[in-house]
Amino acid sequence: MEKEVFRICNFEKNVNYAFALKTRTEGSWPNQRYYTTHVLQYVGKHVNSARWGYRDNGGGSETFDNNGVKTEIVYDYEGNTCFTVSCKTETEPENIKT
């Protein structure tokens, strides 16, 4: 099943997020929408963002905290890294099936 995901997020504290690589893009810029058929990976609450380099040598990552377990998601060069707000609770399994 396909689920909409978002490439660029304004992350909020105390909000749970999930991560997946996009598998399909619909529309044209600036109104593109992104979708994935991958299983969403729960990553927890957003801690911080990091950016480095410039242009083609640039990169970035997002760090999340899942009850003390830190997860860093590094953006891929192709722009497939996406996130979505997660409704997961602490009692649910690590992977979210949609």
Verify cis geometry, omega within 30 degrees of 0, for the bond prior to 30.
yes
**Alpha-carbon Rg for the chain in angstroms:** 14
Residue 88's pLDDT band, with cuts at 50, 70 and 90, is: low
Q: What is the pLDDT of residue 89?
A: 55
Nearest alpha carbon to residue 66 among 19, 28, 30: 19
Q: Can you tell me the mean pLDDT for 16-44?
A: 96
